[in-house]
Amino acid sequence: MPRSGCGIGGLTLAACISKFSEGRVAVDIYEAEPEVPTFGAVGGISSGVAIWKHSWQVLQDLGLEEEIVRQGFDVPTDGASRGPIFRKSDQSTEGYDFHTHILPYRPLGLHRLTLLEILRSKLSPDCKVHPSKRLERYEVSSEGFINLVFSDFEITTADILVGADGVHSATRQSMFRYMGDGYEQYILPVFNGTIAYRGMLPKTKLVETYPDHRALDGPKLVRIFPELTIYCLKCTHVVSHPVGPSIGIGCFRYNPDTEGQAHTGPSVADVPTQEATSHFETWEPDIRSLIQHVESYSAWAIHVVKPLPCYAQGSVVLIGDAAHAMTPHQGVGAAQAIEDAHVLGRLLAHPSAVKEKIQLILKLYEELRLPPTQEAAEKSHITGMMYEFNHPSFLFNDPSHPDGPSREELKALGNTVGISFVWLADSQLEEEWAEAEARLKEICEKPE
């Protein structure tokens, strides 16, 4: 079963099939980049991935807990724990913290590359990785086989194609081109009007100029939440969090006039520090000192995938960002890719899953995963609107707010952001899988 893309979704799928198929399903993984594991949607930046309750149960089901603990990460825990601090910073004098987030669950924060490496180590010999192999498109033969056409002109035939090839997915492009009139709008991702300037700052550099800086507190590993600060302003927010000896910084700038427009230029590009910091010159010293010492930034034009009408078409199926790339404001894109891969992997690896019923099995995956993933994308979007005072209940730019929001208003905003994270403490993985398995058996045992 070929699969294009070797990011978090693709590797989780291959690890799941490796564990549960007992050699019944062979997987070929085609990765465009020369090195695997590669860096997927956050190229080069040693960023963290938040693992909330549901995706943690998936990792446990895949047998990864032992290795994660062995590498020194704290496993997630149920119950309230301290989360990010929200700070008002859009003033030349010192700003103030307006909210300390109490999370409903303490998630695991993993380095993205660590997760990719652990997943890679779980692949069985039935999974073959083919680096430097970029899928251009697929074609469906008159016999119903899928022909994968690569950029080096090689063509390979497959029974099933899983597009795990990220936001700019070639698989999704082919799928919706095939579907024809009315579906063109789903071929390409959409620019959401936000540029994220992302960079890393060595802590030693900040210590020289600002030894008491809040961003310096933090342990050796990625601990995403208690040390994370979110600095808020209209149409802008900055996130800082410790990553080992460095501080990861993301400066998000949203321009409503460009939302939905074609983005001119590359979706990721290195930019001089001045380009990123120019937007924050009037902010409090805390943030200026933090962002000006970053040596280089990469500018990410945030693209999202419009809510798709389907994730499966014939024997081709989409998972992860290829199906539902979303804004990063709740840090759940990777978790959704993991959860898609788990459902699809367990269905395909199941002993009842017969080749003749593959198209129905892929439709079952779609039925199970399309609603929750599109809901997650919507929640992430709404949270982003709150961070940047663009949510209809927290606009703060009307004539009644000549001096900006009051402390009470910001506190109310903080509480609402808090509520928007509650769903991430919930999971019924076992029950959901039992139901999915029953549906699968029903499909596979039903005579043609």
Ligand X SMILES: Cc1cc2nc3c(=O)[nH]c(=O)nc-3n(C[C@H](O)[C@H](O)[C@H](O)COP(=O)(O)OP(=O)(O)OC[C@H]3O[C@@H](n4cnc5c(N)ncnc54)[C@H](O)[C@@H]3O)c2cc1C
What is the binding site for ligand X (CB under 6 A)?
4-10, 30-33, 38, 40-42, 49-50, 134-135, 164-166, 170, 196, 198, 300, 302, 320-322, 328, 331-335, 337
Complex with ligand X: residue 337 or 436, whichever CB lies closer = 337
CB of 166 to ligand X, least distance (A): 3
Complex with ligand X: residue 40 or 226, whichever CB lies closer = 40
CB of 21 to ligand X, least distance (A): 20
CB of 442 to ligand X, least distance (A): 29
Complex with ligand X: residue 304 or 358, whichever CB lies closer = 304
H/E element, 200: strand 190-202
As a whole number of angstroms, the distance between CA 281 and CA 32 comes to 39
User: Is residue 323 a contact partner of residue 10, using CB atoms and an 8 Å limit?
Assistant: no
User: Is residue 423 a contact partner of residue 373, using CB atoms and an 8 Å limit?
Assistant: no
As a whole number of angstroms, the distance between CA 415 and CA 351 comes to 47
Complex with ligand X: residue 425 or 440, whichever CB lies closer = 425
Cα dist. 203→165, 206, 238 in Å?
34, 5, 17
Exposed e or buried b per residue across 179-197, where buried means at least 16 C-beta atoms within 10 angstroms of its C-beta: eeeebeebebbbbbbbbbb
Complex with ligand X: residue 81 or 298, whichever CB lies closer = 298
Residues in a beta bridge with 111: 48
CB of 413 to ligand X, least distance (A): 21
Complex with ligand X: residue 83 or 328, whichever CB lies closer = 328
Residue 16's Cβ-side half-sphere holds a number of Cα atoms within 13 Å equal to 25
Complex with ligand X: residue 95 or 384, whichever CB lies closer = 384
CB of 7 to ligand X, least distance (A): 2
CB of 345 to ligand X, least distance (A): 13
Shortest CA distance to 158 belongs to which of 135, 191, 180?
A: 135
User: Is residue 161 a contact partner of residue 138, using CB atoms and an 8 Å limit?
Assistant: yes
CB of 209 to ligand X, least distance (A): 27
As a whole number of angstroms, the distance between CA 331 and CA 288 comes to 24
CB of 202 to ligand X, least distance (A): 21
Complex with ligand X: residue 317 or 440, whichever CB lies closer = 317
Three-state helix/strand/coil letters over 50-65: EECHHHHHHHHHCCCH
Exposed e or buried b per residue across 338-362, where buried means at least 16 C-beta atoms within 10 angstroms of its C-beta: bbbbbbbbbbbbbeebeeebbbebb
